[in-house]
Amino acid sequence: TRHGGLLELESQLGAGTRVHVRLPVIAATGEHATLTAAPAPVAGNGGRRVLLVEDDADNREAMASLLALGGFVVTAADCGAAGVRAFSDGAFDVVLTDLGLPDMDGWQVAGEIKRAAPEMPVALITGWGLNLDRDEIRRRGVDLLVKKPLDPRIFVGEIENLVQVGGRRDRKSVV
């Protein structure tokens, strides 16, 4: 592949699909050093609970895998209503929602989450190339806007930073 990675799919009708993602290790050099691997869970980082709301099965699996490699415990939902239900049934440190969902959009999911838990950090994931004002994004219940395609080396760090900073309204946006 272009970046040296490998994606393998195994699918069996009625049994599901298995996705294998292999990414090369990149050495950290110079001013733009990158992580060589996802950080292993450590005492202060391990077990962070993420609610991931994503309707596309491939994207959901890929993001859940990246987050798990970064030490997060992921609960995934395939639509907005399922995400809101899962949130009310569980305890999470951060919520990630796709913008384009079949039953309700990510803005609505974020609004429902913030009504239930105003301090909960919420990230909106979109491939729609939105250029929104930071105040507008926060007003709509979103603390971080993540644009697709995701950079795996940056994605987990952005989410960890959001968890650490939290979803407080009085902080500077991490958008």
Tell me the per-residue pLDDT of 94-122, one tens digit each, with 9 for 90 and over.
999 999 999 999 999 999 999 999 999 99
The continuous run of DSSP H or E covering 92 comes out as: none
pLDDT at site 3: 53
pLDDT of 5 above 90: no
**pTM score of the predicted model:** 0.70
Of 148, 160, 152, which is closest to residue 23 (Cα–Cα)? 152
Of 105, 154, 101, 110, which is closest to residue 136 (Cα–Cα)? 110
pLDDT digits (tens, 9 = 90+) for 31-72: 433 333 333 333 344 679 999 999 999 999 999 999 999 999
